Amino acid sequence: MTLNLPEQHRAPITADRAAHMTASLQDLVKSQQMTTDNVPAVQRMISELTIPATRKWISGRAATTLAQYFTSPMPDAIMAEIAKDWAEELQDYPEWALQKAFRWWTGRGNQKRRQKPVPGDISERAHIELSIVRAAEIEARNARTVSRRDDEPPTERVRPEVAQAIVAEAFGSQALPTIDKRMPREAAE
């Protein structure tokens, strides 16, 4: 039984589950096989992948990252305001995307890793991490309708010379353009 909880009450997904789901979405988007049959499952994945992180989690994760950089002692009131800034900037992003963004910032792939990040740095990277989700949303909106029924067998590819013979038989031996010249090489093989 699935509970339809308001978004603020749904638990964020784990980073491992998000990695599996984003890989599935990426495969589907790259294959260009998005059909109306896929859309409900894709929409469920997108819904799970876009559950925003809690302000508490964001503040804790930001503090963990910032602790790796030298900071002079500050009054608690200033630290609380800094935490609010981080939470305000990052509140729309899911936990998994933020986790990847924070790890990327401190990782070898980031040339600025020795600099202390500001909220916009992490927001920018989280936005990049969500790109496959945005692509899947667009693909789902533009999904093509499946034209064959489930009880119909899938259509098979026909070799160019066979297609040429079928066309010649149907229309007589009139001068017909060769199919090989009109088809991309990989489609003809």
Cβ–Cβ < 8 Å for 179, 164: yes
Which pLDDT score is estimated for 181? 47
In this structure, the answer to whether residues 53 and 127 fall within a common structural domain is yes
> Distance between CA 152 and CA 98 in Å, rounded?
45
Do 18 and 105 share a domain, yes or no?
A: yes
Q: State residue 126's pLDDT score.
A: 97
Count of structural domains, the chain: 2
Q: Provide the residue range defining the domain that includes 64.
A: 11-141
pLDDT value of residue 118: 96
75 and 160, same structural domain? no
Residue 45: inside a domain: yes
Predicted model pTM: 0.69
Kindly state the tokens that stand for 66.
């910032």
Judge if 26 and 116 occupy the same domain. Answer: yes
- 10-residue mean pLDDT profile of the chain (189 residues): values are 47 87 87 82 93 95 92 90 96 96 95 96 96 91 64 64 69 56 51
Is residue 187 situated within a structural domain?
yes
Same domain for 134 and 163? no
Answer for the pair 49, 13: CB distance below 8 angstroms, yes or no: yes
pLDDT for res 11: 81
Beta-carbon contacts of 117 under 8 Å, excluding residues fewer than 6 positions away, are 65, 66, 105
Nearest-angstrom CA–CA distance, 44 and 51 = 11
